[in-house]
Structure 1
Amino acid sequence: MANITEFVKRPGLGRLGRPIRIRTNYFEITNLPASNIHHYDIDISPEVPPTLNRKIFQIAENSFYGIRAVFDGRRNVYTIRPLDVHTLDVTLPEDNTIRRPPRIFRIRIKKVNEIHMEEINRFLNGRGSISSNILTGIMALNILIRHVPSTTLNSVGRIFYTNQDSRPLSGGVEALQGYFQSIRPTPKKLMINVDLHATAFYESDSLVQLVVKILNKRSADDLRRIHDRDRTKLEKCLKNLKIYATHDENALNRRFRIFKVTNTSASNTIFDDNGNQTDVASYFQRKYNIQLLYPFFPCIVIRSGTYLPMEVCNVVEGQRYMRKLNERQTANMSKLTRPPQSHASKINQGIQILNYQQNQYMQQFDFRVSNEMAITQARILPAPKLQYHPTSRESIFTPRNGLWNLRDKKVATGATLGSWACAVFGNERDYPMSAIQIFIRELVTTCQDTGMNIPNKNPPIQHCNPQGPIETSLRQVWVKAGNLAKSKPQLILCILPNTGVPLYAEIKRVSDTVIGVASQCVQGKHMFAAKKLYCANVCLKMNVKLGGMNSFIDPIQVPFITQRPTILMGASVTHHAPGAENSGRPSIAAVTASMDAKASRYAASIRVQTGRQEVISDLAEMVKELLKTFYMTCGRKPDRILFYRDGVSESQFSIVLKDEIKAIKEACKSLDEKYKPTITFVVIQKRHHTRFFPINARDGDRIGNCPSGTVVETTIVHPFEFDFYLLSHPSLQGTSRPTHYHVLLDENGFNADSLQTLTYNLCYVFARCTRAVSIVPPVYYAHLVCARARFHASGENWSDPDTSEGAGGVARYAAVKAELLKVMYFM
């Protein structure tokens, strides 16, 4: 069965490293249905939302003569015994709370298919390839495990939320802890991956309280005057939010969506009431005998010409907050992360809540699940030897626990900084010249101790207005630097008064795309502290921005790169967050590539493409640019390409492989008809729910995570393709997330050990820190390039989500200056 997959089959298992046993958040399905599963398409008319569909279906089930049918809430129904029903009329009983009379629905049921379980077993045992029957079968089993929770718990997609664990995040938003569950095929078995998942929801409070929180006020009385900016922010936050009104018993359970917020207060919002002009406050006094407590609040519009005062509205429970979280909310969200012990016990609690054992639907399907987390073998790979400059006291060493520091070390190749200047965004009172000079002296000393060469120790310093015009200020500073050093400026050091995005983004837009000079930003508070450790970190970034190299791996330990000319490439595409205001916005694709035999220096290529499209459309040209740069740097064409591709979901593997490999080969051919380097194409996934828990406490780190270098390639991986999980970074907090590597094409003949070791070793040469990182640097750099490109949109289009300028309009992205693309300007 050589052709059971279009991708790469597992070339055997690795042997390197110290073996340990770990638990992982997968639960084995110990018994699958023996007989085939029947698949039906159902049509419920008149059409209603999925939650109501489920209610209707629950009533219909009584007519199935004891057959338990699972339903996805839309069109798909699965049973283990055939149904003998074709059409049904179902009466939804009257609802007294909303005075709604009984309603009759018609259900049409049509058999579409039978799912052959035998084919699923053949696939799991590596005797057959994936097919639509298998994919539908796994989908049916996913619906089976979701069926009961979806009728009892609040659910969003594959995640179920319980109300036990809610935490306020600020601004009227709270986090609910939920449980994610999904069935995954693994060698010889199916497993259920169960994990924790926190999601942001609107607090289900009175609308007035929500408004007070969104606008960050103490009480409703602080809102007697709502400024335009606040009103715009409010309308953005509330648009489409579901509410119910409390002033009228007849309307108590009716749900409305907020359409917009009025410009005028309730006492000044005038409408036509049967030929008489009246305001909303007076109308509510006359019609419902309600004297508004907050007549100064604006009203909400639920449809054109229909107004409700905010104080008679409550927020419907269980609505997801779909906007980007602000800094404070994000910080509060990150406090919800749990250390491994607590994470694992919470998952085990979830297994009790999901209660697979007592599920009557699963019993009828003869579907059984273990209550214990799966145990698997893992290995801890040895850390590589790192090299710094030979004159360092400690020039060659092996890091421990994925960490090291710069003490007694000099960078491998120190850049020379001769022409530079300092722009201080703030006035002389707040940023006195003496403090700036002390900081620059400390920075220069640290850079020189770390091996950089800085002949010009007193760069010109200029105070600039942080309110702008930024471009004019930076041009002036650039000219000063050039005039003083009598040579083209290499770097502008910028001191910033705050952590806000707008100023930083504008500095990067101007320096990267207008002037074409590297820039290094420093926050004012760090300048005043002038700590050596901080200066050392800034030095690492400055050195690579100027074309230097910080460290490299002992060449013997990365033979794949050092034996023959080899280029490493990393590719990523970033999309705007989903949502109406971002529709039509473009996506950004970036590819970065190594430029030397030590795989430490990288160049970048960027394109803007159609929004939310995953395949990189101009990949052939991007690869061609990078191959040319490699040739100009090394004087050789690479014999081999190792291409790491980020962010592709399994359903897109085929299309990405087909289109992008073709593009890479086209790029090579366009340079020379006979040029055919061997290609290995590996997809990297971080967005998954696999977690590791060491069984033996002494195998864990100080928090209780598996150590840096943990690799897993059995039990929870693909039944027969070449994939593995690698936990390459030391943990800072919470439960570490390993990275999933999946090989789609391999013309270089890697075995498990050689690819796992190379991938792990590369995680030690990320240029801007002295710790192993969680994904290979080429992809990490591609992420940074994408993030930076966001700031190159003219008109500050990326701006803060809470301001109105951020929405609408496709941004025009300016190109990064060619000379910067050859160095690591994005660090």
Structure 2
Amino acid sequence: AAAVDAVSREQRIASLCKQAGFQCDPFLHEFGLQINPKMYEMIGRVLTPPRILFGENNRKTDPIVMPKDGVWSMDDQRLYLPASCHSYSMIAMVNPREQNHLQAFCQALTQKANQVGMEFPNWPDLVKYGRTKEDVVILFNEIATEYKQTGTSCDLVIVVLPNKNADLYMTVKECSDMIHGIMSQCILMKNIMRPSPATCCNMILKMNMKLGGINSRIVADSITQKYLIDVPTIVIGIDVTHPTQHEERQNIPSVAAIVANLDLYPQSYGANIKIQRKCRESVVYLLDAVRERLVSFYKTTHQKPIRIIVYRDGVSEGQFSELYGNKSFLSY
């Protein structure tokens, strides 16, 4: 949904135009220009919302949900393909005195997970407390070491953050994704204090996808069936993120991301992240990344894609010729 609804946005634009006084502007009059105070009207269309399929359940609830105004309810629904979390740990960047709140949240999270069909432990194996981003590194190392010593594995680390802190968050993701290869899920302490069913459900949807599950599927209409389902199809998304002016002075590179589905029904996705020279829009290592995505698709489906659909973001008109002339596969 938009941050500002259409009616409020229209009223704001009309008010700004009125304040600008275009009708009395001597410069516009000198050039013989007039601005119509009314917005341009054109014919639009509203797309029919796709139906969403959840998992089968023993209740009388219909697993197919029709969204209304862009939202839908998961009440009495189960995940389409629930993942299993056999063990998890928690890093709490808060005062240890908050243990009671953490325990209440874990109980609420487990209860909601069971309701939607996800296997989830009642309590984390390890709970560790810290304050700084240096503590995050130490605590992740401790968790990885303790699991290794017991010969078990950690499926997930839940990290409780005191507030929105970019440095802490970045350190958590670096430790979990890049160093130890353990999935992580962050949550703010203010949401721990009041663990509503909606908060727990939102957490579970994120964790289920990270652990390899599928939350829901789109019920295919005739067009989706024809262009995505009938033949093996791989959908590839490509984008390049560039450093800001401040980051550019620190010689921070650009990051290229290549994402593609792993299954025949485009629902599970894998990604490749490549570092390249800053402010370069073309993807330097595209061939290797696309090859990895194609191999992953084949390993999962045991089929080669018949159709390849590419979505390329972030290309301005001035860059079309550059990317079109690049000989790298799918560089445009």
TM range (shorter): 0.7 to 0.9
Give the TM-score normalised by the residue count of structure 1.
0.37
Distance 1:579 1:513 in 2: 25
The one-letter amino acid of 1:638's match is P
1:555 is paired with a residue whose SS is: coil
2:258 is paired with a residue whose SS is: strand
Distance 1:440 1:528 in 2: 11
1:664 is paired with a residue whose SS is: coil
User: Which residue is 2:156 aligned to?
Assistant: 491
Give the TM-score normalised by the residue count of structure 2.
0.88
Q: Is the 8 A contact 2:91 2:130 kept in 1?
A: no
User: Which residue is 2:115 aligned to?
Assistant: 449
Percent identity between the two aligned chains: 27
Structure 2 unaligned regions, length at least 5: none
Which residue, out of 303, 308, 312, partners 1:636?
A: 303
1:343 lines up with 2:12 in the alignment: yes
Distance 1:528 1:442 in 2: 12
In the TM superposition, what whole-angstrom CA distance separates every residue of 1:266-325 from its partner, at most 9, and x where no partner exists?
xxxxxxxxxxxxxxxxxxxxxxxxxxxxxxxxxxxxxxxxxxxxxxxxxxxxxxxxxxxx
User: Which residue is 2:291 aligned to?
Assistant: 624
1:597 is paired with a residue whose SS is: coil
1:439 lines up with 2:108 in the alignment: no
Distance 1:370 1:338 in 2: 19
Q: Is the 8 A contact 1:421 1:478 kept in 2?
A: no
1:407 lines up with 2:75 in the alignment: yes
Question: Residues 616 and 562 (structure 1 numbering): CA distance in 2 closer, same or farther, change over 3 Å?
Answer: same
Distance 1:499 1:359 in 2: 47
User: Which residue is 1:396 aligned to?
Assistant: 64
User: Which residue is 1:472 aligned to?
Assistant: 138
| Structure 1 position 369, deviation (Å) | 5.8
The one-letter amino acid of 1:382's match is T
In the TM superposition, what whole-angstrom CA distance separates every residue of 1:732-780 from its partner, at most 9, and x where no partner exists?
xxxxxxxxxxxxxxxxxxxxxxxxxxxxxxxxxxxxxxxxxxxxxxxxx
The one-letter amino acid of 1:487's match is T
User: Which residue is 2:173 aligned to?
Assistant: 508
The alignment's C-alpha RMSD in Å is 2.7
1:386 lines up with 2:52 in the alignment: yes
Which residue, out of 243, 246, 269, partners 1:602?
A: 269
1:590 lines up with 2:240 in the alignment: no
The one-letter amino acid of 1:514's match is I
Question: Residues 606 and 581 (structure 1 numbering): CA distance in 2 closer, same or farther, change over 3 Å?
Answer: closer
Distance 2:37 2:107 in 1: 62
Q: Is the 8 A contact 2:157 2:184 kept in 1?
A: yes
| Structure 1 position 355, deviation (Å) | 6.1
User: Which residue is 2:84 aligned to?
Assistant: 416
Distance 2:210 2:75 in 1: 22
User: Which residue is 2:193 aligned to?
Assistant: 528
In the TM superposition, what whole-angstrom CA distance separates every residue of 1:767-808 from its partner, at most 9, and x where no partner exists?
xxxxxxxxxxxxxxxxxxxxxxxxxxxxxxxxxxxxxxxxxx
Higher gyration radius (CA)? 1
The one-letter amino acid of 2:12's match is H
Alignment: residue pair count: 324
The one-letter amino acid of 1:388's match is F
The one-letter amino acid of 2:122's match is K
2:110 is paired with a residue whose SS is: helix
Q: Is the 8 A contact 1:572 1:647 kept in 2?
A: yes
Distance 2:286 2:215 in 1: 29
Distance 2:220 2:89 in 1: 37
Distance 1:372 1:425 in 2: 53
More helix as a share of residues: 2
Q: Is the 8 A contact 2:96 2:129 kept in 1?
A: no
Distance 2:40 2:160 in 1: 51
Distance 1:458 1:665 in 2: 47
Distance 1:648 1:472 in 2: 41
The one-letter amino acid of 2:82's match is G
Distance 1:583 1:473 in 2: 29
Distance 2:209 2:221 in 1: 24
Which residue, out of 214, 234, 251, partners 1:549?
A: 214
Distance 2:313 2:295 in 1: 23
